[in-house]
Structure 1
């Protein structure tokens, strides 16, 4: 049996290691922290959640729900730990960051087939045919390892900029000015809502759009079109100040959307609203949902205290921007996440072009299974196209080359229903339910042979 080497202790790496070990393979798991950290990580923990603590919607028959249902059926270890450390978050799966990381670490330590190496990997040996390597070093891959990957692929990396939302001390929130509510009263009222009047919103917007940004560091910059260095934000995770500059009402249709959040004091929706989501099981801290930004800390303190209820807030963490790197998967990867030119080397997680915590874990789950098959001398079978996992992988490996950008799981990635069914089902929820049923059926059929021997 071939050896399996996994580089990266974030989300995809540990999931891949645990999957491969569960299938009887010996795994060497490498993580460079704490000997070398990154610009965004704060700890050396496995599975540290750098940005928010949410793994997205748990609403039935949504795309994120479908992806997680498939992962649960496949025995995703990190999703089990996420479920076990969940905190109230309405229709979303959010976790206690510290407890989640600790459970992952404990699980890895308890697995005798996994050996952990706390050291930086700077070389990829494409000629070592006795080793299957999974590169899951994430969007903040070290410069030396990124240079190695660039050497192997012969292609330039793409990059975008991801963000971190601020976290506020719950004891410093003025609870007389805020209220608990779920949008349209669906589910439990787990979010704290900070309501704005029109005047308060305009004042906040003026302060936000004129606040001073952090000066970009050299490590953040990269050449665009071979000429100038510039920031390239990911559209799915824009800094709030960038969103605000696109129009006076843009925030009210984005992270400050008030619809469905009835204020019990007025009986009406506010003009705008900031939502706060619980960070941990102790409920002593909350993050500002969608409020990632690139402002100086002193400016954040000034501007964010203009949010009703946060006038005297103490911030446990301010928002940040960090560079995320990913490969051009359509040119480089097969549907089993192997490099086309070097099939013993695999790419998983955000480095492969999937975007999001859940998507990264899912990618690691597949990579671990594929690597185990390769280590045992078998040809891995790609996840079915009809499934959410298969559709996400299909997108990153078949996207239009010139328009490839990282992707979250959405119904747009899944194969559409037949035209006759689409005409019969005008209700979008019905169509999505049918797509989910179809996906789960295909997924179960794909899993069946592996489940006999693995779990």
Structure 2
């Protein structure tokens, strides 16, 4: 395209041909933004990274740090041949900067990759500060330049400021959608009654890093009754109660039936209590928050309950009767664009192709998926800055499948997605009939995905790792 043709000039002094790459502006210092900035800089681009905190904060952030993990500290499963594992394996092979820091700051979490969130943010900030091609600007961006003079990666995430959201709405001509996301409660480890809990990993996968709080039927009924009668946070005018189904608050789940929690975040299956030799009636899992192991978060316990009632309800969990909570659970609004309607296959706005949307704003859900979106967004932006056309990753790969979903789903009913095997291209019908074992089918899908991903990376003009 002529619009992106590489401009060249002659150096009067050296007489050498010099490429004039466009600069890359990355807006957002969460997960996708820093990954995109580091990817573009590694490709030789001059990058300006904008972050509005601390001048303007959000409903969920507690710091102004880059890559702050506001919900849990888990980047999902590391079990071989699972969909989250596949996505991370592809990211590692592509040289994801943030995943490298996540691996370096990992804390025990069974078969999951969980990080010390403070150390993780610190290391990401160090990587950005050490890169001479990245300039950090701490100010709120309220307008977007669609002229094409530079390439913009918009990675402001689920809590995009109202002014920038309005600007994005102006450019796309489509309504911003909203759903709720979560923050899990965090408890001081020293306040847990270790006599009432036990360490175990579900189905003994990985190491026994989770603290499990077992319920009898009577304890569960008491807990559930208190939960159902607790006082909820009053919805603000801009809130619509449009929850993301994969991240429902426990108070909403409880209203759907007395056993719903037992098949969700309080599922006891595979968590044998060594004191009884049996599964409990229900169970709450606590996951280590940091390397010091002095705090744990309550897995899947996001809620919309007022803090006073929340303390009373959570202290009905066996082992947490005298718990000291370092942070209570919250639900906050997230925004994302209607990607199938406004994005092309390489995350560019169809109407303004010099603007790339990355991370949760594009309709992916989860930390790992957000970093993956930043990786793609940064690489696409670098190619555009060089005057080259980006090419989407192969559909067989995890990245390609996730990208295909957000750009090809039904626009009318679009909702954010995590990476799952449902998004990946299934095996050929003949193979599906021949191989009945689901684990073996998944292994073959992962093998095919990594091969396709490797070929795509090899064909790219950009550096890897």
Q: Deviations over 1:252-302 (max 9, x none)?
A: 100000011111111111000000000000000000000000000001100
SS at match of 1:412: coil
Is structure 2 residue 367 aligned with structure 1 residue 357?
A: yes
Asked if 1:22 corresponds to 2:32, the answer is: no
Q: Aligned partners of 1:391 and 1:55: how far apart in 2?
A: 19
Instruction: Report SS of the residue matched to 1:362.
Output: helix
Structure 1: where are the runs of 5+ without partners?
222-229
Shift of 1:450: 3.2
| Alignment map for 1:401-416 (pairs within 5 Å) | 401-416=411-426
**1:93 aligned residue:** 113
Gaps of 5+ in 2: 1-20
Deviation digits for residues 36-57 of structure 1, max 9, x if unmatched?
A: 0001000000000010000000
Equivalent in the alignment of 1:76: 96
| Paired positions, count | 445
Deviation track 1:51-101 (CA, whole Å, cap 9, x = no partner) reads: 000000000000000000000000000000000000000010000000000
Is residue 96–residue 280 contact of structure 1 (8 Å, CA) maintained in 2?
Answer: yes
The answer to whether the 8 Å contact 2:42/2:463 transfers is: no
Partner residue, 1:382 = 392
State how far apart, in whole Å, the 2-side matches of 1:319 and 1:34 are. Answer: 23
1:219-258 alignment to 2 at 5 Å? 220-221=238-239, 230-258=240-268
**Partner residue, 1:119:** 139
DSSP 3-state at the match of 1:413:
coil
Does the alignment pair 1:48 with 2:58?
A: no
**Equivalent residue in structure 1 for 2:167, among 148, 169, 177:** 148
Aligned-residue Cα RMSD (Å) equals: 0.9
2:78 counterpart of 1:58:
yes
Alpha carbons 1:23, 1:454 under 8 Å: kept: no
| Equivalent residue runs for 1:42-441 within 5 Å | 42-127=62-147, 129-218=148-237, 220-221=238-239, 230-441=240-451
Rounded to whole Å, the distance in 2 between the matches of 1:165 and 1:453 is 37
In 1, Cα distance between equivalents of 2:268 and 2:424: 30
Shift of 1:185: 1.6
**C-alpha deviation, 1:231, in angstroms:** 1.1
1:133 is paired with a residue whose SS is strand
State the distance in 2 between where 1:449 and 1:246 align: 50
**Preserved CA contact (<8 Å) 2:94 2:464:** no
- Deviation per residue, 1:87-141 (Å, 9 max, x gap): 00001000000000000000000000000000000011212x2200011001100
Q: CA deviation at 1:454?
A: 5.0
CA distance in 1, matches of 2:411, 2:289: 38
1:453/1:83 CA distance change after superposition, 3 Å? closer
Shift of 1:453: 4.5
What CA distance in whole angstroms lies between the structure 2 residues aligned with 1:371 and 1:23? 10
Whole-Å separation in 2 of the counterparts to 1:13 and 1:65: 22
Secondary structure (helix, strand or coil) at the match of 2:460 reads helix
Judge conservation of contact 2:49–2:136 (CA < 8 Å) in 1.
yes
CA contact (8 A) 2:72 2:297 kept: yes
Q: Deviation at 1:402?
A: 1.7
Contact 2:262 2:268 in 1 (8 A): yes
2 CA distance for matches of 1:136 and 1:60? Answer: 30
CA–CA separation in structure 2 for the residues paired with 1:262 and 1:155 = 50
Per the TM alignment, residue 449 of structure 1 is displaced from its structure 2 partner at its CA by 3.0
User: How big is the shift at 1:451?
Assistant: 7.0
Closer, same or farther in 2 for the Cα pair 1:453/1:91, shift >3 Å?
closer
What CA distance in whole angstroms lies between the structure 1 residues aligned with 2:296 and 2:108? 11
Could you tell me the TM-score, scaled by structure 1's length?
0.97
1:226 maps to what in 2?
none
In 2: Cα distance, 1:185 partner to 1:442 partner: 32
Secondary structure of 1:139's aligned partner: helix
- Hey, what's the Cα distance between the residues in 2 that align with 1:331 and 1:17? 26
